[in-house]
Amino acid sequence: MPQKVKGFNKKVQEVAPTDQESEAWITAIINGLALAEQHNEYHEGFMHWINELNNYLQMFELHFSKETHLQLIQLMYQHMTNLEHDSLIQLGCMDALYRLLKHTKCLQPSDLRLDWRPLYNLARHYKNFQSSIIRHGNDFIRISWRQFQRCAARASPYFEPDATRQILDELSPRLCKTSVDFETQSHYLALLPVCFLPGVSQADTIDLWAKPILKFWPESAIGTKVEALLAQTLANLVDEWHDCIDWEPHLANLCSLVHRSMRLPVGKAPNSMQPPRILSSQGHGHDRSKGAEDRLMGKLAALLIGAIRPGSDAAVNHIGKLLRLVEPYMHPSNSGRWMLSVASLIRKLLTKLVHRLTDERHGHSHKVWWRLPPKEAHISDSQRLALFNMLLEPAFMLIHARGYTISMASCANLICQLNPGPFLQRLFVELQPALMDSSQPHRLCALLLMASRVGLAIVRYSPEEVVPLLHSVLPLLELSNPLRLAAALSLIKELIHEISLDTSLEEFSALFMDRVLAIAESLLTGTGFGASSKSAAGLSPLLEIFYNMLMQGSDEIQSILINKFKTWSAGAAYEPEGAAKTVLRLFAAFSGSLPSSIVPWCIEQAVATLEAEGGPEVAQEERVSSKLLWDIAALENAVSNTDTFIDNCLIAGRDQLAYVLRCCLRAKDKRLSKLAQRLFVELSTGGLLVELYPTLDCQAYRKIGWGERCRLKEMTVSWHRPRQEELQLVQWMADKFLWPEVQLLTEHLDETNVLEKQDLLRCVSCLSAFAQSAWQVLSPPPNEADDPTDSNAAPPSDYPLSVSLRQGPKLPSHLLRRGGDSAAQLRIQLGNEGEEKRDARQILLDLFVRLAKAIAATDLSEILQQAIAGITALMLPGPRVSVTSTLDVLRLRDNAESDWLLELGRGQDSATRHLRRLTGFCQLRSQLAWPRANSRLPDIVDQLIGLVGSPYRTVSTDASVALVLGALTLMIGGTAPGYAAINHLFYVPDWQARRILCRCLATVQLSDHSNKAEVCTVLAPVSDPHCPNMGHDKP
């Protein structure tokens, strides 16, 4: 019976197949985990099923029985805390355990018991959790301490009843100032969350936890991690168990510790301009960053708010006393770390208070998931009102402190949630004199920002004040003071966002429209966006105001704005600072829900901007215009929106779409490349792209080609045949000499039932033409230093395949007109795929091998010779093993610590390349074991295998066979294709090459395994009966 079903899955139409799939999936996961554990397959099998379990929990959550849930928790906890496991396995089990324990309503503490000591041993094992990185082989795995701590927090409710006493007995002896492990033990103490002891009195709980922590805290230095960790531990204890423990006797000590941690100055008189003589009350201490200060104040605030009990006002009185102590320091002349502490403490007090009231109102807790505090432990209305009155004055006093407007605005939003009526009344009392008096611009801006953060509350609780407030703010809309302008626009934006312009504010609309449009025209046509910080400060809220006026205003307001936009951009030059660019920024920000009447004009402006050239901000403006086109098309949401986008482009004419596509192909932005791909897919049947083909360059073909690759993959999956236009386009791309698009053809040749014979013949001809051009560009071969023979020499007479691609047509003239060295460009294009540099001829060889697989399933004898000729021409000038590199390899054999595989040089690359070719042809030969009777491909492949193996028996006169064998032994040992050649070695018709390879493989096997009999067993299937010493000779 499923314990919990994901809510989204309930809305799926076909629920029964989803349930069947989940049951089959979880059954396979359980069986796979058991089988992997039975055979000790932890690195591959067990890790694979752990990943499957995480994917299952993300998709279906707890869609299994409670017994299965308990078994999985025990299994994940056991393997996560197993110190013999790899770090990667522990990380996977940690993620799975967190998801299994996430929904704790399904499990009660009596249903499960976990031992805390394995978790503690795991924390001691990974002492470098603080660095958040663990080494795993040659890789580094990121495991954060917070991730480990949240998993421990999920598991702590299921510890044994006496776990609290055991944890303290383990950690208390080293929790002292003189201990060198003081900080480490503090981390462990914060890691293992406190557990309530059933049946133990409150006094015993205080003795177990509170008194030791209150004793250790004063011994820690101010500003250290130990102080923060002890505060966090005590805050968790107070916040989670505030209804079970009486904290009243310890409140005085707690408040003194909080006051000590704030590091307020003592040598400076309140409201004084003199600098302090002493930085802190306990000496200099350590510096804390802004984030660490904020986190510490959050822990202290949680401690104070959690200590409030409904039957006693002692905690509220102590909080008021603490606020009165810090109130004198809230002065405009005071700044620095103590002001940061005061602002953070007030904001965090409000945040924790709102969180606790919200949890009590909705009946859930964000700390302890399986235990809900009783209603008797909720904060009373009188306590809430007293806290509101205490925090109201400090929140408004933050207005005077420069640099803390963000904290002030956050406090305003939080305190307004506690009691909106009195707060708004106090806000209007402070705001009206400030609007009349301009002598304190900073205070006015702070009040406007505070009012903007509570705009929703103003509209909801004081609707009669909205229109007078807007009229009083309207005179502030002037460019002389950009900061005040930005604050005023933010307030107007929030107010008109909640009230429609055509209903409640009819009398204000006309005056506001004229004023805002005048300011917008000054900003847009005067200085321009981005020209200075002054205009940029007021433009962001101005754009949102325009958007609200467009979406919420009447049709008359929309027509006025659209005409204004067209007037601003009409006749304006498309410079980087032009008005049209700023208008585009407006629509780029909100193009997802623009009125349909303005979409064609927006597209026209965006296209014109993309077509413009010059200016220092061209790249930036391309991004703006591309975002506009991308958002209007909404390609990431639905393909149907693309049709609407195309229709809007065609409103202005057929050439408009050509401009859009051409701009998308010219721009550097990746979003426009995706837009070009989707446009190509949608327009390939309309015949429009055929007219655009002659105007596109190679880069445009490349961008379209990647989109067409996606299209062809979709069609292959759905078993449809590619259209004639698509194949024609890819042929033109091959003629343009674009390698990624040529690979597009070969990716679908394996599924020969997708292509008809005419299409296959067309693809083969296209590839042959491409190979002819590539061979001309790549001649002479790049490895001519390793190949002393002439690249134009005729093939050996004992191989009948002597057709060369050099007899084909000449290189296309447009390729030679591209400018620069065509050969160098092609080598860069073909030789830099992936991190490993690959030989261009090897890439072409892979292309023909894939082509040969497709031809093997058909009866196209007229194109067979073309493919075989291409393979032969690529293989004949193959490089040979470099003797110089061989000697270097033998020298490196004695140095086991050096990474010799990276230093072998070109000789190793040549041998590795031959091994890969040989393995590929051997695999091809094994796949053609039952070919058609009229196909000559198996015999040709046998000849080609011998041709590939021939360089291995070619030894220079100045080197012995032992040197070459030694080098090949190391090369085979360092490359996977050498091991793969064991299974296909009996297909090699050249016995001399086969004997050399067997001896090399035997050497590799003997170096890895000491049992020679095992090596002989491995090589027995490939031994030659005519060669008695085959595979048994000592290298």
Mean pLDDT of 289-314: 73
Q: Looking at residue 114, what DSSP letter applies?
A: B
Cis? peptide before 796, omega within 30° of 0: no
Residues 6+ apart with CB under 8 A from 418: 350, 353, 354, 357, 384, 387, 388
Contact of 459 with 504, CB cutoff 8 Å: no
Distance (Å, rounded) from C-alpha 661 to C-alpha 80? 54
Single-letter residue type at 555? D
Single-letter residue type at 775? W
> Is 439 or 424 the better-scoring residue by pLDDT?
424
Least confident piece of the model among 248-252, 577-581, 885-889: 885-889
Distance (Å, rounded) from C-alpha 622 to C-alpha 581? 10
Contact of 315 with 247, CB cutoff 8 Å: yes
The tokens describing 371, both together, are 């235990």
Distance (Å, rounded) from C-alpha 302 to C-alpha 349? 7
**Helix, coil or strand: residue 485:** helix
Distance (Å, rounded) from C-alpha 217 to C-alpha 182? 11
Contact of 167 with 192, CB cutoff 8 Å: yes
pLDDT confidence tier of residue 489, bands split at 50, 70 and 90: confident
pLDDT at 337 over 80: no
Contact of 326 with 304, CB cutoff 8 Å: no
pLDDT confidence tier of residue 522, bands split at 50, 70 and 90: low
* Nearest in space to 843 (alpha carbons), one of 771, 934, 757, 900: 771
**Helix, coil or strand: residue 907:** helix
Q: Which helix (H) or strand (E) holds 295?
A: helix 290-306
The tokens describing 617, both together, are 């901000």
pLDDT of residue 14: 44
pLDDT of residue 461: 81
The tokens describing 640, both together, are 């149907």
* Nearest in space to 445 (alpha carbons), one of 523, 536, 453, 495: 453
Distance (Å, rounded) from C-alpha 733 to C-alpha 738? 6
pLDDT of residue 957: 33
Single-letter residue type at 68? T
**Residue 980 burial (C-beta neighbours within 10 Å; 0-12, 13-18, 19+):** middle
Distance (Å, rounded) from C-alpha 429 to C-alpha 427? 5
Mean pLDDT of 682-706: 54
Mean pLDDT of 106-112: 80
Contact of 987 with 1020, CB cutoff 8 Å: no
The gap from C-alpha 631 to its chain's centroid, in whole angstroms, comes to: 21
Domain boundaries, the chain: 7-158, 556-772, 827-1022
Residue 1011: beta bridge partners?
Answer: none
Distance (Å, rounded) from C-alpha 156 to C-alpha 100? 14
Q: What is the per-residue DSSP string for 1000-1030?
A: HHHHHHHHH-S-HHHHHHHHGGG--TT-TTT
Residues above pLDDT 90, as percent of the chain: 0
Phi and psi for 85 in degrees, rounded to 5?
Answer: -80, 160
Contact of 383 with 320, CB cutoff 8 Å: no
Least confident piece of the model among 79-83, 509-513, 624-628, 636-640: 636-640
* Nearest in space to 246 (alpha carbons), one of 206, 195, 196, 215: 206
Single-letter residue type at 518? A
Q: Give pLDDT tens digits for 188-211.
A: 666 665 555 544 555 565 566 666
> Is 918 or 169 the better-scoring residue by pLDDT?
169
Mean pLDDT of 912-940: 51
Any idea of the CA torsion for 708, 709, 714, 720, to the nearest 10 degrees?
A: 80
Q: Which helix (H) or strand (E) holds 551?
A: helix 533-552
* Nearest in space to 471 (alpha carbons), one of 486, 491, 453, 498: 491
pLDDT of residue 529: 39
Distance (Å, rounded) from C-alpha 647 to C-alpha 657? 9
- Dihedral sign computed on CA atoms, order 629, 630, 633, 634: negative
> Is 163 or 71 the better-scoring residue by pLDDT?
71
Distance (Å, rounded) from C-alpha 887 to C-alpha 892? 9
pLDDT at 451 over 80: yes
Least confident piece of the model among 418-422, 508-512, 754-758: 754-758
Rg (CA), the chain: 38
Distance (Å, rounded) from C-alpha 347 to C-alpha 398? 10
pLDDT at 25 over 80: yes
Distance (Å, rounded) from C-alpha 239 to C-alpha 302? 6
Distance (Å, rounded) from C-alpha 54 to C-alpha 166? 33
Mean pLDDT of 484-508: 66
**Helix, coil or strand: residue 359:** helix
Q: Give pLDDT tens digits for 426-446.
A: 888 888 787 777 667 777 777
The tokens describing 939, both together, are 């015999």
pLDDT at 595 over 70: no
Give the chain's length. 1035
pLDDT of residue 286: 43
Strands 133-136 and 139-142: antiparallel
Contact of 952 with 946, CB cutoff 8 Å: no
Least confident piece of the model among 141-150, 903-912, 982-991: 903-912
pLDDT confidence tier of residue 331, bands split at 50, 70 and 90: low
543: number of Cβ within 10 Å: 22
Contact of 918 with 949, CB cutoff 8 Å: yes
pLDDT at 631 over 80: no
| HSE-CB for 601 with a 13 A CA cutoff | 17
The tokens describing 840, both together, are 């261009």
Phi and psi for 283 in degrees, rounded to 5?
Answer: 100, -165
Residues above pLDDT 70, as percent of the chain: 29
The tokens describing 718, both together, are 């759905």
Q: Which helix (H) or strand (E) holds 135?
A: strand 133-136
Single-letter residue type at 1000? C
The tokens describing 517, both together, are 């449009």
User: What burial letters (b/e) apply to 664-683, b meaning 16+ CB within 10 Å?
Assistant: bbbbebebbbbbbbbbbbbb
Distance (Å, rounded) from C-alpha 485 to C-alpha 235? 43
The maximal CA–CA distance of the chain, rounded, in angstroms, is 110
> Is 427 or 537 the better-scoring residue by pLDDT?
427
> Is 495 or 948 the better-scoring residue by pLDDT?
495
Any idea of the CA torsion for 977, 978, 979, 982, to the nearest 10 degrees?
A: 110
